[in-house]
Amino acid sequence: MSVPDLTGDVKRARRVVVRGRSPVSGDTVVLETDAFEAVALQHELDHTDGLLFLDRVAGAHALHARQTYL
């Protein structure tokens, strides 16, 4: 985990369309997704831009101590 002791509320789109180019063929690639996959994709794309959820969290009020369940 990027920040092991914290979790937070980050607003993300519930539907996304991502366009890019295939590194092999150069063809345009389009990915459309929604729900959990859209949120997860945005999270991973943030990592490729060097961002953590802390860069997107709404503010200190939206941070929470991560709970451990045994």
- Each residue's pLDDT tens digit, 7-63: 889 999 999 999 999 999 999 999 999 999 999 999 999 999 999 988 999 888 999
Per the model's pLDDT, the better-predicted residue between 3 and 38 turns out to be 38
- 44 is known as an active-site residue: yes
Task: Report residue 68 as tokens.
Answer: 């451990």
Give me the pLDDT at residue 1, please.
58
pTM: 0.78
Which of 66, 67, 54 is closest to 6 using CA atoms?
66
Q: Are 67 and 18 spatial neighbours (Cβ–Cβ below 8 Å)?
A: no
Q: Which of 70, 59, 42, 51 is nearest to 8 (CA)?
A: 59
Is residue 5 very low, low, confident or very high in pLDDT (cuts 50, 70, 90)?
confident
Contact in structure between 12 and 39 (CB atoms under 8 Å): yes
Which position among 11, 44, 68, 70 bears the catalytic label? Answer: 44
Rounded CA-CA distance 1/59 in Å is: 20
